[in-house]
Structures are given as C-alpha cells and as structure tokens.
Amino acid sequence: MNQVSTRGDPSSSGLNNDVVVGVRTRYGCLARMGSLLLRRLAVMPPLLLLIAALVFALVRWAPGGPFDRDRAAASPEIERALAARYHLDEPSWRQFARFIGGALVGDLGPSLKYRSHTVTEIIAQGLPVSAVLGGLAFCFALGVGIPLGFVGASRRGGVGDSVATGVALLAVCVPSFVAGPILILVLAVKCGWLPVALWGGVSHLVLPVVTLGSYHGGRVARLMREGLVDVWRDDHVRAARARGLGEAAVILRHVFPLAVLPVLTYSGPLLADLLTGSFVVENLFQLPGVGTLTVNSALNRDYPLMVGLVLIYAALLLVLNLVVDLIHAWIDPRIRHA
C-alpha cells in the first residue's frame, strides 16, 4: 500500500513545532515552580529559628516572671527548687538551646503555668477548636465575600453595587467585639434560636463563625469587586468578546481567574490567622482555643507555651503563603513566565 508522506507538509511541521513549544513551556513552568518550592523550603527552618529566638528574648526581657503570683506564699527555697526544676537558673542561651533541641523531636517542654501539662498537650487540646472555628470562618468569608464582590462589580454604578458595597463596608467597619454581642443579644437572648456560648454541637458554632468571618468577608468582597472591575477593562477580555465567546465563558475563562488573585493573596495570611484562633471571639463565646492561650501565656510569662504557639502560627503562615504563591504562579501566566 502506498503511504502518504507528510515530511514536506508545512501544516504538519507547524503542528509539531507547536507541540514541542507547548511541552517545553510546561516543563519550564514546572521547573520554575519546583525551584521556587525548594528555595522557600530551604529558608523556612532558619527563619523559624530566628522567630523563636526573637519571641523568647522579648518574653524574657519583659518585666516579671512566671512565678510572681506565687511568690508571696512561697519561701526562697521553694522558688529555687522551681527554678531548678524548669531550668530557669541556667543562662538564657542554654534555656533556648534546650527548648530548640526538644522542639526538633516534637517536645516543647513543660508549661510554666499549667505545670501538670506539657506545651504539646495544651496546644493539642486547643488547636483543633481554633482550627474548626477558623476553617469555618474562612469558608464563610469566601462564601459571602466572593458573590458579594461579583454582584457589586457586575452592577457597577447601580443599586446592586451600592447595596453590596454598603454591606461589605459595614462588615469591615463593625469590629468583632461589637458584632458578637449584638448577635448574641438578638439571636440568642431575644429570639432564643442559638446558644449563647461554650463549645458543643453545630448550633454553638454559628454565632462565633459569623462574628469571626463577617469582617474578613467584607474585605474579600471589596478585593473581589476591585479585581473584577480592573480585569473587565483589560484588552484580552474585549478580544474574547470579539471572538464571539458568551458572557459566561468570558467570565469563567478570562475574568475570574485573574480577578480572584487579590483574594488568593489575602487568603494565605487570613487562613493562618483564623486557624490559630481569635482572642476576642474565643473569649466572648468562651471557646477553649489557642487564641486565649496565646494572650494568657504572654501575661503569665509562660515562655515555652508562648514560643510554641508563635512557632505554630509562623509555620502555618509560611506554608500557606508558599501554597498561595504556587497557586498564584500557576494561574497567572505573567508570573509563571517571569
């Protein structure tokens, strides 16, 4: 049988070149992202060590000590015994080295305030509460903020834009220590629909999640609206409409992926902040999370607990920012090929 040769076919040559260029571009993108990942991972350990050293030094230099409240009822012998037990009679650099050595194997040492518990046990009890609360508040903020910003941008200059912008501005301007009591008074005390406080079933989560997520939902709505308005003016969106694409396809393929980038950049620090607890909301609703522990550990000069909590927050912040940067580079070709 006769075989048709495509060796001299210019269309076949062009197709092969396009495939080669596409493969090279994809592998080049993956190589750049892999290089970014390795560089950021290499920087994290020394950065966490520096953060731990700064927090340890600041807490130690602050006036007062962990046993000041017990000093009136304790003899000098008891104070010296406590200091020896917790190695507080050693130089500061040796105490810090001891803490870091234990942290490398997952042991953050004993708490100086809650003496029958280790720092790891205390964090393990409080972190799941703050993680559930923060994760739900994060979903609430995105679930409310993104549609609200889309409504404002799509109805720019109209009634819908004014309503969406007003709601977002109200959510940003009303702090959680004001919004929380109002929600408790209306929904819990007056109407009796929800429990006031404590950590129990699903109904106990509604008020703290709304209180914690409403402010961030307003911020997300404003970022989303600004991003959509900016992208809708770009030339590539006009070109997509000129090619005959429907409005839904233009929004999903060309507008939304770039408009959501400011929200994506904001979501990394936001999620780290929410997952590690909110002192105001957790105290207001009497939730046993790590937000309350962070402030109390600083007030009580509980050095191991304070440094451990800050290390967890810093590690979450670094990891989530890295994930956001990788997603950002994958979505936006301008960054991916930079």
Q: For 20-42, how does the pLDDT look when each residue is reduced to its tens digit (9 = 90+)? A: 444 455 555 566 677 778 888 88
Helix axes 303-331, 92-103, angle to 10 degrees: 50
Q: Is position 292 within any domain?
A: yes
Taking only the tens place, the pLDDT of each residue in 49-80 is: 999 899 888 887 877 777 766 655 566 777 77
| CA 7 from centre of chain | 55
Stated pTM of the model? 0.78
- Predicted pLDDT at 69: 64
> Which residue segment(s) compose the domain that 291 sits in?
124-336
Alpha helices (H) along 104-175: 119-154, 159-173
**Token output for 245:** 């694409």
118: helix, coil or strand? strand
Number of Cα atoms under 13 Å in the Cβ half of residue 338: 10
* 314 within some domain: yes
pLDDT at 72: 55
Give me the pLDDT at residue 292, please.
80
Residue 161 belongs to a domain: yes
Examine residue 103 and state whether it is found in any structural domain, yes or no: no
Work out the percent of the chain whose per-residue pLDDT is above 90: 17
Instruction: Tell me whether residue 109 is in a domain.
Output: no
In sequence order, what are the residues at sequence separation of 6 or more whose Cβ sits closer than 8 angstroms to the Cβ of residue 277? 126, 129, 130, 133, 134, 289, 290, 291, 292, 293, 294
Residue 56 lies in a domain: no
Q: Is residue 104 part of a domain?
A: no
Structure tokens at 256: 């939304």
Torsion, CA 182, CA 185, CA 191, CA 197, rounded to 10: 100
pLDDT tens sequence for the chain (338 residues): 444 444 444 444 444 444 444 445 555 556 667 777 888 888 899 999 999 899 888 887 877 777 766 655 566 777 777 777 777 778 888 888 888 888 888 888 888 888 788 888 898 888 888 889 999 999 999 999 999 998 888 888 788 888 999 999 999 998 888 998 999 999 988 888 888 877 777 888 899 999 999 999 999 999 999 888 888 777 777 787 777 777 777 777 778 888 888 898 888 888 888 887 788 888 888 888 888 888 888 888 888 888 888 888 898 888 888 888 888 777 765 554 44
Is residue 265 within 8 A of residue 328, CB to CB? The reply is yes
What is the domain-level CATH number for residue 238? 1.10.3720.10
Task: Identify the residue whose tokens are 């839904």.
Answer: 248
Between CA 149 and CA 99 the distance in angstroms is 46
The tokens describing 104, both together, are: 């490398």
Number of other CB atoms surrounding residue 289 within 10 Å: 28
Sign for the CA dihedral angle at 228, 233, 237, 242 comes to positive
137, part of any domain = yes
Q: What is the pLDDT at residue 213?
A: 92
**Number of structural domains in the chain:** 1
